[in-house]
Amino acid sequence: MPAMLINIVITAMLCTGIALFFILKIKRMQKSIVLSDDRGQPGKDGLELETLSLVARKTDNYVMISDKDDRIEWVNEGFTRLTGYTPEEVIGKNPAEILRGEFTDTEDAVRVDKKAKEKKPYSAEILNYNKKGDPIWMFFNVTPILNEKEDITKYITVGSDITEHKKEEEELKRQKEQIEKKYGKMWETSLAVHKQKEVVENLNAELNEQKEKLDQAYKHLSAKNAKLWRTSLLVNKQKEEVEKIRSELTTKNKDITDSIQYAKIIQQAILPRVSEIQKFLPEMFILYKPKDIVSGDFYWFTEKVGNRQSAVGNKSNSKLIFIAACDCTGHGVPGAFMSMIGNDLLNNAVIDKGITEPASILDRLQVGIRFTLRQDRADSEAQDGMDMALISLTAPLQLPPKGESQRTGTPLIDKTVSHQRGDSPPRPKVGGKGAAVTLQYAGANNPLYIIRKGAKSSEIYKEAIPFGEGLEGAEVKGDKQPVGIYGTVIKPFTNHT
């Protein structure tokens, strides 16, 4: 058994043992706790409680006790050494809120949350992050404490750092792949040799048969043998040529694949970070599943501070953010080229030219793509473009008091505003109190779906789509034309507010 696996098993056994120790002690002391005897000396239960506290504080493993809603009530020193968080920083919080991060596997997180509700002890491992933002792999045992009614009252979690184990596991996996690749090539060579051996054996059998007739047709057999020899030389020569071509193709394929992989790094570098968007829309998410190594689909985001014209003619500072979902013609490398063009033209329209209306931005892209791809020339063969849904969110910008620097990244939606169940949702608050968010949209073939709870006052909700749990949605359709050449008639895009 590899040393790494032995270490993991030992860690799991230690975590389980510590968890069982805590549970037995807690259950025993729940029934009757005597902290001192008649002489003022620590009683048996008091000594056990002191021992339990010492073990919990000094063990290398981290120990965490949380309530029925998995809100932390107590952590030991091992937790602080591992995560960097002090008890004061985590008590009252859900472990997932402070430990999970950007690369925490969603499926692992869902699986752990599901097990926590099953009222049964379980073990798991998951990628978390310490206070500095460094990733750490944690293995832990969780044991729910149940009351007489079989309801969960607390959770006891005992875990340890298995980051080094995971690194060793990845290294072993890499070495295994290298070995399999090496011996896979040797197996292919062996099969080729075996096949060639069969060919030679067949030729020998034929030669032996001809040899038996040598006395009767010696001259005829000599001519036939000469012909077979020439054929053998031709086969060997052709085999050498095939092997040479195969080697060249393998090299070229690797060069092309390496080049595309590097192009993927460049393409991903232009995509906005999800964390940047979440500064303004904390509950947003992005579903991005490229078909090939590089993609013809991309998403785009930028922010802008500008002037907004009010109903009475006054101007005020406002925060604008722009979000686009784009689908370029083609897949792979051609689509990736189009995505680079589209991203650059969006930045030019909004950041360089200061255009803020979505329809006007798409009109600008229309001109830019036709110019870039020379689509207005009679001999142009580039019939490419992209479908797109583009929105802008505009909200008043609450400036800080005089003498204070303005902070960036203020969320557009104020989640502190509450309302009673069954009432229409309140208008979102932006940059402070009492200001509403304005949404504008323009689309090139791609629609916009708006989902909200309750209210149907807007024109777009006349044909509402039910989503369950009191949610209704509506589809705002974009213009039936792409950004880029389409037939001979190009129309301005429609702006929806």
Residues 56-110: pLDDT tens digits?
A: 666 779 999 999 999 999 999 999 999 999 999 999 999 999 999 999 999 988 9
Yes or no: say if 119 and 144 are a contact pair by the CB < 8 Å rule: yes
Mean pLDDT to the nearest integer, 466-486:
80
Which tokens is 299 given?
A: 């998403």
Residues 14-46: pLDDT tens digits?
A: 555 555 555 555 555 444 444 444 555 555 555
Is the model's pLDDT at 334 over the cut of 70? yes
Is the model's pLDDT at 134 over the cut of 90? yes
Residues linked to residue 156 through DSSP beta bridges, in sequence order: 65, 143
Yes or no: say if 392 and 322 are a contact pair by the CB < 8 Å rule: yes
State residue 397's pLDDT score.
Answer: 55
Yes or no: say if 323 and 278 are a contact pair by the CB < 8 Å rule: no
Under DSSP, the state recorded for 350 is: I
For the chain, give the mean pLDDT.
78
- Amino acid identity at 60: D
pTM for this model (two decimals)? 0.45
Residues 204-219: pLDDT tens digits?
A: 888 888 887 877 888 8
State residue 450's pLDDT score.
Answer: 84
Confidence of residue 361 (pLDDT cuts 50, 70, 90): very high
State residue 56's pLDDT score.
Answer: 62
